[in-house]
Amino acid sequence: MAAVGPTPASDALYPGHLSLAENSIALNPDIRTHITPQTSPTFLLQNEDDDSDRVEDSLSYYVALKKAGVPVEMHLYAQGGHGFGLRRTRFPVTARPQLVETWLGRPAAEQDGGASRCEQAGQTENTI
């Protein structure tokens, strides 16, 4: 699983293990208070065959971000495992660097005057 956002290190949240229970997309209530409208725009990427982080964790985080009004983009892939990083693989997830680059270059809100997400925040991207 990967989450990217122009987030200061003090606000970084690793989206793994956030769902309340196995086979549930309910967000762990201990995490809910950390997701506010001020949470940085977030890019989520998850491989469904990840043996460390369940897809429900990403789904619960995505839903919570949407409910808080946080711009979020999510990509799910059937295969690719865990910990793929930037290395090229035979799976479609190998296109991740280009997806993230495109996402970072788009305005957080399409009417924001054209500044990229990182430029708006005055920060660099943070891959979690």
Mean pLDDT of all residues in 81-91: 79
Is the pLDDT at 124 greater than 70, yes or no? no
Please give the angle made by the CA atoms of 31, 8 and 88, to the nearest 5 degrees.
90
- Residue 79's contacts (CB-CB under 8 Å, 6 or more residues apart) are 47, 48, 49, 91, 92, 93
| pLDDT of res. 78 | 84
pTM above 0.75, yes or no: no
pLDDT tens per residue across span 17-75: 777 777 777 787 877 888 899 998 988 988 888 888 888 888 888 999 999 999 999 99
Is the pLDDT at 12 greater than 60, yes or no? no
